[in-house]
Structure 1
Amino acid sequence: MAKKLCAAIALGAMLLCLATLSFAQATSESAVKGNLAGTVTDPSNAVIQGAQVTISGPIGEKTATTDAEGRFLFQVLIPGSYSVKIVKDGFKTSDIKSAQVLTGHTSNISVKLELGTSSTVVEVTAAAVGVDTTSTATSSNLTDNFYQAVPVGRGVTGLFYAAPGVASGGGTGTANPSISGGTGLENNYIADGVSITDGAFGGIGVYSRNYGSLSTGINLSFVKEVQVKSGGFEAQYGKSTGGIVQIVTKTGSNQFHGSVGGFFAPQSMEATRLQTDDFGAGGANERFNLQGKILHQSNYDVDTQVGGYVPGMKDHLFFFGAFNPQWNTDHDQFAQYRNPSDLGTAGLAGPTQTFLGNFDVPVRVYSYSGKVTYRLNDNHQFEASIFGDPTYGDQNANGVLGPQTASKTTFDKLQYGTRNFVVRYNGTLSPTWLFNASWSWGHNNLNDTPFSPGVSQILDYTQRTPCDLPGTPNGDCTAPTNKLRGQFTRQGLGYYENTTGENYGLNFDTQKAFNFLGQHTLGFGYRYDINHYDGTKLRTGSTIPVDQGVIDALLDPNTPGNGPIRAALAANGTNAAFQLRARGGDSCIESGSPNAAELYVTGLGAPGGPDACADGGIGVNLRQVRGEFGNLNFKTNSHYNTLFAQDSWSLNKYVTVSAGLRWEQQRLAGVNAHYTFTDNWSPRLGVSIDPWGNRKSKVYANFGRYTEALPLDMGIRSLSSEFDFADTNWVPPTDGAGHVVVDSDGVMDLSTLVGTQTPQANGGFIRSYNGGVAAQSSVAFAPQARSEYLDEFVAGFEHEFGNSGVIFTARYTDRRIKRIIEDLAALSPDAADAGLAQQYLIGNPSNTTDYFTNPIQNGYNAALGGSCPVTTPYDTLSFNGGITDSFGNSVTNTAGNDNMCVTPGPYSNGAFPGDPVADGVADGFVDPIRKYQAMEFEVNKSMSKGWLLRANYRIAKLLGNYEGSFRNDNGQVDPNISSLFDFTRGDWNLLGQQFTPGVLNTDVRHLVNGYVSYTFANHLKGLTVGSSVHFQTGIPINNLYAHPVYANAGEIPFCADETTNCTSARGALGRTKDYGQVDYHMDYPIRVTEGTRIRLGADLFNLANSKTLLRVDQNKQRTVGVLNSDFSKPTGVGPSAASGNANPGYLRPFYARFSVKFEF
């Protein structure tokens, strides 16, 4: 690896030498700066050489002279509005008042000088932005002129959706959209050159395993411009298989300016929401498992900002500062359960509450931003920027499960946010040589404080099946009409993480120009990123001590390697999270068993029921489903090196060729292991043709390869130790007579639990095991495991109509995943169910992958009297009742066999079945597929002559069997280590159509956005009115069964008829409803003095008050063998002002926001 790194550095040094002889447009610095170019002609359209061009912008003036082609170019400009003055003897002076410079974009203007004297000045209205004929990138630049004139939310992430190719990411929240087919955790977010991408998961700002998207890292008040790049990335851009979002904050200027204002969106200005808990209420089709309600949300914020220059340092030292405190609140109603909770011990009076009532969940955000710019002279500029958003939530309800609770012991208090800093230098070493350097630091944190740290989490499953669900009758119901609670959070917050992330970035790039068979612009850059993500994994409740007998039962003292694990369990005990499950037999008092543990639950305990007891109670036990006893602290890091070289070659005024090459290397490390992904080469090639050479049109094509930057979740879960306690059944604490002890709120005190199988007089001991200890120090990497990447092809056409500034764009995009990185194991579900242990590797699954020794499975038909053909099969690897699917149905393979056994090892390669040793036979995986194809059409006009327009339409298909870094089917937040490739296909098809390609979960076929705004110049001078329209078609609805081994819901797609006989089961149940909304904006300035005014504003959202159903429950089962009574019913709570707005059930109804600002 060291040799390869040295070779890459040598290559970089060579390119750096070449760069001293050349000049490049596209560098890393273009992430926060823009360019202004133009052509000057005379009345006959002949080019004018030697015209003096002077631009005046936020921090002073710059001057250039047109070349032999009549062209001029100003580079590395602060985004904003510039005036342009062009002077040439024999012609009138041309004065352009407002030419817009955009981030990462070359704005073009064409100026025709009139004959006359230079003392005569002609004012010209510039074509607002123009066509960038030198670029093949796909990007949308959304400036403050745009977002201040149209209705958008106050959060910066709402702007992302104005760009074509951007759709909801589903479970990743509104802040993390799907861009060009990627999941919401595959984007690269950059603000002022600082990475604000969460290091562990890939979301924006602070992203949590438990809570999803929490903090964006930046507020709209500070934003000068947002650029959304959805394709055609130049070589300096990478670390994304989705989109790249670049945010530029505001800068000071030679004019003092500022404002103080307030924005108000009270709950009284929101119409009544539709709620999933109200669906079919009182009828046979009502929801069984209730979720609670967010009745309304309210948002208030104060916006203060000021910018200008330091007195005595005009044209040299500039500043900008802003502070934007926000108060956001969810007004919740907890789930109104239709029956009281347990009746306490022995049927005596106990807790009877059905819900906690209404409750406000407030969040306070103290966003700030500051920037200092020092312009030493025209050739040297320094800049420093800082921004952050510390956030405080005093009473978060029930963690990730929200208002689905009946106990305040599930509440917690959150503090989170980001802090970011960058310093940069931009230097013009000669008229044809630029050099840029920057250093950045980004910090994020999440501190989670439970209200009841000593209370263990219990999810109550005793009432999880309704009395009258077809196919799953509940024999414990006292009457078919009983309204049980369903599954709910009984107590305790459960699992939570406290984390800290730090990322450091160092960047250098240089660029120079030369002429050789045309004009070349060649550049070279290097960037080094260090990312740290550290934290602690915790669970509420007391640590449970474990005695030696249990340790010996779970971990054989004679097995090599068990020593450290046994010692950790003895020293640490285990934390735990539980399910309360009904269990009859010896859990009833009349059995006389020490395992007796009864509860008295309204509606349960029917005589003769499977879990009912003689006295009307039901027998219960606690099933421990989670628990860790190893090192709960994790420290992970990533070192990322990038080199790029790119040449933009303008053969003439008609043709530009852009060629680039990007090299990337990432070292990923956890507590116990590390791995380096080396030699990731990403070529980029684009061609742009200006058919008439007038910078009004272009036809272009681009090819790019994009490599994923792995988030550090892999370092936490797979490269660090994780010791998981056994899946265990416990007898709950009792009163000694077999009655479970609960307090007046129904809370069980589990602090008396003892990890022993010796019966205790008051319960609280282990009765049995469902599985063993899972202990791993780390997951190994497969030989020559490589980074994930995709290939993209883009072709398009762009044209500006005259000098109107109206630009039409049409393009086709084709993206295809070529290689993924995932954790994987060799076993099929049938082999795993037979008893073989999974052994994992991290590698690149495909149809030809050979990492493991395949188990030799011997099928036979037990129903016809067949038996295992192997005399001594491995362990007892045969199924007692035949192989069954996720719902307990007997299944056969293509040979008609209903059972199988496994031949014991060692095999011919010396390994045992399932070992991570290649055996010359493909393991049985499939090729991962994600194919995104889209046609996009845009009509855009930046603000000029009082109006702007932005409209786009996308028709697209997103097909495959691999969604990406986030799974919307089972909601798994484990980038690159999901459960998707934990098993091979097998012979009995227990994974249904999991690997069969079809429409993926965020596939939106048609997507329309439209924004228009007009500012009155005469009557009602200054009044701005704007409107927006959004429409999109629905997303696929699946028929998802539970995993046959893991038993997790939402894993396995089946056809609508519960078979695998359809072409693809993905989207087998159709799509959700199409939806849209129309919004309105208005603001009006009232002049106070010459330089001050008061601006009144209003934004009205969803004028038609549409409340479209957005999401239905796609889980056919809640676990293996248990039907979901809420299948195909509405699901989801929200949207929310206090969390990430992940997957609300219904479209938010009409709501309004008002503002008043004092501007100077």
Structure 2
Amino acid sequence: MTKKLITGFALLVMLLSLTAMGFAQASAESSVRGNLAGTVTDPSNAVIQGAQVTISGPIGDKTATTDAEGRFLFQVLIPGNYSVKITKDGFKTSEIKSAQVVTGRTSTITAKLELGTSSTVVEVTAAAVGVDTTSTATSSNLTDNFYQAVPVGRGVTGLFYAAPGVTSGGGTGTANPSISGGTGLENNYIADGVSITDGAFGGIGVYSRLYGSLSTGINLSFVKEVQVKTGGFEAQYGKSTGGIVQIVTKTGSNAFHGSVGGFFAPQGMEATRTFTDDFGLGGLQQRFNLQGKILHQSNYDVDIQAGGYVPGMKDHLFFFGAFNPQWNTDHAQFAQFRAAGDLIAGAPSQPNLGKVDVGVRVYSYSGKLTYRLNDNHQFEASIFGDPTYGDNNPNLTYQTASPTTFDKLQFGTRNFVVRYNGTFSPTWLFNASWSWGHNNLSDTPADLGPSNFSILDQVQRNTCGAPLFSSLCPNNQSFVARGTFQRQGIGYHENTSGDNYGLSFDTQKVFNFLGQHTFGVGYRYDINHYDGSKAYTGSAIPFTAAEITTLEATPGPFGGTVLPPMDPSFVPQLVANGTTASFYLRSAGFMCGVTELTLPGQSNCADGNTGVVLLQVRGEFGDLGFKTRSGYNTLFAQDAWSPSKYVTINAGLRWEQQKLDGNIAHYTLVDNWSPRFGVSVDPWGNRKTKVYANFGRYTEALPLDMGIRSLSSELDFGSAGVYWVPPNDGAGHVLENADGTFDFANSPGGFNPTNNLIQAFSGISAQAGTAFGPGTKSEYLDEYVVGFEHEFGNSGVIFTARYTDRRLRRIIEDNAALSPEAYQNGLNQIYFISNVSKNQDLFHNPTQIDYVLDPLGVNHPTACDPSGTNQSIIDAQATDSNGNVVTLANGNNAFCIPNAFDANNNQLTATAGSDGIPDGFVDPIRKYQSMEFEVNKSMSRGWLMRANYRIAKLQGNYEGSFRNDNGQSDPNISSLFDFTRGDFNLLGQQFVAGVLNTDVRHLANGYVSYTFSNHAKGLTMGTSVHFQTGIPINNLYAHPAYQNGGEIPFCADNTANCVSARGSLGRTKNWGSVDYHVDYPIRITEGTRLRLGADLFNLANSKTQLRVDQLAQRSFGVPNADFGKPTGIGPSAVAGNTNPGYQRPFYARFSVKFEF
């Protein structure tokens, strides 16, 4: 976008904002506020002009007069309950005791005045929130009246699931749900106008690529209301291809109020859980790779809050403050690996670690000051945070037998906002705000020693050919050792600090031209910093230039080679930094007599021991520090035109521009225009019914994980073929400490490339110098909504039905134009970040020639021969995920890539630049279609109800910012498009569309609550019901290049010969729960009471299996003996992404609260 065009648009916005007349129905700032509108009529239903309407709310009174249409409107109100008094000469005064105002909506009331004198007061019951006939947005407003009356968790995120279209995000944890088909990392979370969305990944609060959701940024004790927007976003809203969650904290008022209470959920009030480690216990089908158990969890918190006005400043200065310390604990048991005495001949074994309590301490706080200068000018400042401290814990995994895997976490958020709301006339509103959101994560390993490399032991696996032949395995301990487990070390971890600063202005006016127009414009600028460092336990392994030259010229130890030679542009970085490393420990017969372990019941050496080797897992040799930044500009304009009381047309346009900066590269995403258009028809003009349709285009805001990994200096080895000799005593044995860890420090000659590197450099990943492909623009989707809404009489019961269709139209992903088999044989990945599609042409594509390999290796086609001094890759073969050489149907089992390198080993192909040939990708697809039905009633006449049902389908070949198959939290830089399909189809059906991982076909929620007004006055009883169908089960193989599990979908018969492999193994079980809430206030004095409460969850004590192990392989060449069995250890009170294998059984929480 040119500077002239930007300037012109900005001037147009300013001109319109200063010349238009009136008030718009919503704005970016008023999104934390609500409106109250209504119509006043006489007994004949004729409108009454000039009636005086006075409302009284938390911070005072406001007065308005009805217009010629009998309408009134109060703007930018603090959410809550308001009393309304309407007077007019010749009519009795009408008084509504409680009209509810909610966030981001216009609540409506209708008042019919009776003939008489104004001194006579008639009390009327308000019709709750009503139908907002001017809006085409799709949202759920969940107030404190709701969540205090029904059974919900103490965390604010549990409320999200009460909205239709919201379901589990899977690996993103319960705090980050899937909304309207998006992944859990595509939502936009806002609290009091502060963005509490993690800047690097897109989760709420603090999110980690290792631990998932750690901190929500806000606690339910402070929350007045949560609005979950699932579709129909107005132009003021964006930065989301999922949902938008707006949270409003509590505010002080003209009445002093507060409470001191405690909530108690002890482990003794939870029924016995079902564990994956106990599946098939004692039989042939029991789990082999044990995961450990969270036996129970306990939660305790103290809730202290107070609000009111500052003495001497009633009606002007108000305060609210709260403090909510929490103690959350997982009472866990490590995976019960067999003790040394259980093993044959008492072979060396790491001990069982037994049980452990893993806890966190959360010190949540909130404070707010509201200054009301007068009816027209209001200032507010709000601060809240949740610093959290973790005890020494096992890196949130229980598949370990060594304390060297422990670490200590400290994390949390701190958020601050100041805002101004001004009403310059009854028809002109101006808002401004400044906000700051901070989050941090500190991860400190318990063992920082140079030998504490991460080692995942994959040697002691089932030796009977599992998973396909587990029935052939004799059921005795001599054939079962341990399964895969973490032998030592944490490996990769991060320390991060994020800061998001936001500045926004908006103004709204209304004018009459062929009807009433409500027009608003606004601008917002966000600066997001995300800095930190990556680290690995264990010291960096040094390389010298001489070692690299020697290893390129001569075979490595034990027959290893370095082929092809390393690209010379990578050598200086490797020499300067060395390489970090995490390892898989693998069985290797060629290491017999060199590095052996004694493992009972299995052997690959003549002496009865097992030869082992270390496979390096993507060691990094670039700069591990990162400083990233994003600048985000937003302009919007929107108009709501009501040519009559029957029709409202909403039209808006949103412009967004984002600049991303990393350590070495930057890019600006420009010309991102998002139109919004909606029509709402009120057939009878009585604000009881609407039929509506809406179109919206929603643009993604790129998280800064891309800046960390792709715009900074990330250079790493792929795990294909990077093998090392384990530390050894020189007499054929691994140097093993008494606790089973490896002694790298005393390996003869040291642990270094000369002594220990067998084969390396078969594939290196590096970012292209320009990072982004030319012309790359932001990711976006298009949404279509058609709906119907009706209120039955004045009951406040509202029925809603709507159809939603969302389709991704453009994505951003990193990609490299080479096949997995080319990477396996030495071609390096050079990445671009781009709008991947089947027509993309950003690379010089490798020329790959397939043929039948002659055993003598002399029959390659002459076209394979290099030109001049160039070098070709010749007689290469493709290896599938099982380690087998692939032969095509025509007999071809080898290939060459001519002229892959020049004489100096510089790569000549799969490099940046158009060659007129598409790069070999497919079009990304994600399509979400749903039909939703709702019946809602807000609290009035002593009862409330929320019920919804959704039938939906989510399908495609691209899940989004989070991958549930391989668990990858790398938004827009996942491994999905890192390779083209290739000739040998090593990627199975990765690019074939089908049902996506979070597809839930049927979903239903129901909440009902009633408060007694007689007899046991104040007694509240509420219940909730939840039901949903299962999610797809896939047959997932390991990646043939990266070697990690969960990447490649194959059909049920382990081929690619089906329509779609996604969900080829069926679905998990349907499940549901019924919960119950009760609380009763015991009056102490006129203004004080003691409230006793209890919440009972999962009354039926259902323990349905929720997840199935979908990994056919745990990693490359390692079959998974537990394929198809239950998996997952949660739920957890500490970790956000445990993905429980079974439904949590019955549990209870009790509360005692003194209120004043």
TM-score (norm 1): 0.94
Which residue number in structure 2 is paired with residue 225 of structure 1? 225
Instruction: Determine whether 1:729 maps to 2:716.
Output: no
Contact 1:218–1:367 at 8 Å: present in 2 too? yes
How far did residue 754 of structure 1 move? 8.9
Note closer, same or farther for the CA distance 1:473–1:362 as it changes in structure 2 (3 Å cut). Answer: closer
RMSD: 2.7
Q: Following superposition of structure 1 onto structure 2, how do residues 270-669 of structure 1 map, counting pairs within 5 Å?
A: 270-338=270-338, 340=340, 352-397=349-394, 399-400=395-396, 402-454=397-449, 455-467=452-464, 469=466, 481-553=478-550, 565-585=570-590, 587-589=591-593, 596-605=594-603, 611-614=604-607, 616-669=608-661
Distance in structure 2 (CA, Å) of the matches to 1:835 and 1:954: 50
Note closer, same or farther for the CA distance 1:183–1:348 as it changes in structure 2 (3 Å cut). Answer: same
How far did residue 1051 of structure 1 move? 1.1
Contact 1:342–1:352 at 8 Å: present in 2 too? no
Distance in structure 2 (CA, Å) of the matches to 1:68 and 1:1031: 49
Contact 1:730–1:766 at 8 Å: present in 2 too? yes
How far did residue 457 of structure 1 move? 1.5
How far did residue 847 of structure 1 move? 1.8
Note closer, same or farther for the CA distance 1:1121–1:545 as it changes in structure 2 (3 Å cut). Answer: closer
Contact 2:864–2:897 at 8 Å: present in 1 too? no
Instruction: Determine whether 1:1115 maps to 2:1120.
Output: no
Which residue number in structure 2 is paired with residue 681 of structure 1? 673
Distance in structure 2 (CA, Å) of the matches to 1:561 and 1:588: 29
Distance in structure 1 (CA, Å) of the matches to 2:818 and 2:191: 44
Instruction: Determine whether 1:95 maps to 2:87.
Output: no
Contact 1:527–1:643 at 8 Å: present in 2 too? yes
Instruction: Determine whether 1:789 maps to 2:780.
Output: yes
Contact 1:4–1:679 at 8 Å: present in 2 too? no
Which residue number in structure 1 is paired with residue 255 of structure 2? 255
Question: Aligned to 1:542, what secondary structure does the other structure show?
Answer: coil
Contact 1:574–1:629 at 8 Å: present in 2 too? yes
Instruction: Determine whether 1:851 maps to 2:842.
Output: yes
Distance in structure 2 (CA, Å) of the matches to 1:281 and 1:947: 48
Q: Following superposition of structure 1 onto structure 2, how do residues 632-781 of structure 1 map, counting pairs within 5 Å?
A: 632-724=624-716, 728-752=722-746, 765-769=756-760, 771=762, 774=765, 776=767, 780-781=771-772
Counterpart selection for 1:1089 from 1079, 1085, 1090: 1085
How far did residue 411 of structure 1 move? 0.6
Counterpart selection for 1:1127 from 1123, 1126, 1134: 1123
How far did residue 221 of structure 1 move? 0.2
How far did residue 580 of structure 1 move? 2.0
Contact 2:17–2:508 at 8 Å: present in 1 too? no
Question: Aligned to 1:10, what secondary structure does the other structure show?
Answer: helix
How far did residue 713 of structure 1 move? 0.4
Q: Which amino acid aligns with 1:427?
A: G
Cα deviation 1:662-717 (Å, max 9, x = unaligned): 00000011000000000100000000000000000000000000000000000000
Cα deviation 1:709-759 (Å, max 9, x = unaligned): 000000000000023358543333333433322222112232356998989
Contact 1:545–1:754 at 8 Å: present in 2 too? no
Distance in structure 2 (CA, Å) of the matches to 1:637 and 1:5: 25
Cα deviation 1:787-819 (Å, max 9, x = unaligned): 100000001000000000000000000000000
Distance in structure 1 (CA, Å) of the matches to 2:570 and 2:346: 46
Distance in structure 2 (CA, Å) of the matches to 1:18 and 1:953: 45
Which residue number in structure 2 is paired with residue 593 of structure 1? none
How far did residue 969 of structure 1 move? 0.6
Distance in structure 2 (CA, Å) of the matches to 1:842 and 1:870: 35
Contact 2:438–2:497 at 8 Å: present in 1 too? yes
Note closer, same or farther for the CA distance 1:638–1:517 as it changes in structure 2 (3 Å cut). Answer: same
Contact 1:721–1:777 at 8 Å: present in 2 too? no
Cα deviation 1:572-604 (Å, max 9, x = unaligned): 43332222222233x333xxxxxx222222323
How far did residue 1043 of structure 1 move? 1.8
Which residue number in structure 2 is paired with residue 935 of structure 1? 931
Question: Aligned to 2:26, what secondary structure does the other structure show?
Answer: coil
Distance in structure 2 (CA, Å) of the matches to 1:963 and 1:427: 43
Note closer, same or farther for the CA distance 1:472–1:773 as it changes in structure 2 (3 Å cut). Answer: farther
Q: Which amino acid aligns with 1:299?
A: N
Instruction: Extract unaligned runs of 5+ from structure 2.
Output: 554-561
Contact 2:267–2:298 at 8 Å: present in 1 too? yes
Q: Following superposition of structure 1 onto structure 2, how do residues 976-1055 of structure 1 map, counting pairs within 5 Å?
A: 976-1055=972-1051
Q: Following superposition of structure 1 onto structure 2, how do residues 795-834 of structure 1 map, counting pairs within 5 Å?
A: 795-834=786-825
Which residue number in structure 1 is paired with residue 828 of structure 2? 837
Deviates more, 1:724-733 or 1:636-645: 724-733
Distance in structure 2 (CA, Å) of the matches to 1:1035 and 1:671: 40
How far did residue 1062 of structure 1 move? 1.7
Instruction: Extract unaligned runs of 5+ from structure 1.
Output: 590-595, 606-610
TM-score (norm 2): 0.94
Cα deviation 1:178-219 (Å, max 9, x = unaligned): 000000000000000000000000000000011010000000
Deviates more, 1:859-868 or 1:654-663: 859-868
How far did residue 337 of structure 1 move? 1.1
Which residue number in structure 2 is paired with residue 1159 of structure 1? 1155
Contact 1:754–1:765 at 8 Å: present in 2 too? no
Question: Aligned to 1:396, what secondary structure does the other structure show?
Answer: coil
Question: Aligned to 1:182, what secondary structure does the other structure show?
Answer: coil
Identical pairs, percent: 73
Which residue number in structure 2 is paired with residue 1078 of structure 1? 1074
How far did residue 396 of structure 1 move? 2.0
Contact 1:478–1:603 at 8 Å: present in 2 too? no
Which residue number in structure 1 is paired with residue 118 of structure 2? 118
Q: Which amino acid aligns with 1:376?
A: L
Note closer, same or farther for the CA distance 1:8–1:530 as it changes in structure 2 (3 Å cut). Answer: farther
Question: Aligned to 2:862, what secondary structure does the other structure show?
Answer: coil
Q: Which amino acid aligns with 1:74?
A: F
Distance in structure 2 (CA, Å) of the matches to 1:175 and 1:21: 42
Q: Which amino acid aligns with 2:589?
A: G
Deviates more, 1:1133-1142 or 1:887-896: 887-896
Note closer, same or farther for the CA distance 1:1043–1:209 as it changes in structure 2 (3 Å cut). Answer: same
Question: Aligned to 1:839, what secondary structure does the other structure show?
Answer: strand
Cα deviation 1:504-529 (Å, max 9, x = unaligned): 00000001111110000000000000
How far did residue 553 of structure 1 move? 4.6
Which residue number in structure 2 is paired with residue 212 of structure 1? 212
Deviates more, 1:301-310 or 1:490-499: 490-499
Note closer, same or farther for the CA distance 1:423–1:691 as it changes in structure 2 (3 Å cut). Answer: same
Question: Aligned to 1:714, what secondary structure does the other structure show?
Answer: helix
Note closer, same or farther for the CA distance 1:911–1:891 as it changes in structure 2 (3 Å cut). Answer: closer
How far did residue 268 of structure 1 move? 0.2
Note closer, same or farther for the CA distance 1:268–1:684 as it changes in structure 2 (3 Å cut). Answer: same
Contact 2:579–2:620 at 8 Å: present in 1 too? yes
Cα deviation 1:248-298 (Å, max 9, x = unaligned): 000000000000000000000000000000001111111111100000000
Deviates more, 1:894-903 or 1:803-812: 894-903
Distance in structure 1 (CA, Å) of the matches to 2:999 and 2:953: 6
Deviates more, 1:832-841 or 1:448-457: 832-841
How far did residue 903 of structure 1 move? 4.1
Deviates more, 1:596-605 or 1:25-34: 596-605
How far did residue 885 of structure 1 move? 3.4
Instruction: Determine whether 1:958 maps to 2:951.
Output: no
Which residue number in structure 2 is paired with residue 1150 of structure 1? 1146
Distance in structure 2 (CA, Å) of the matches to 1:332 and 1:757: 36
Question: Aligned to 1:395, what secondary structure does the other structure show?
Answer: coil
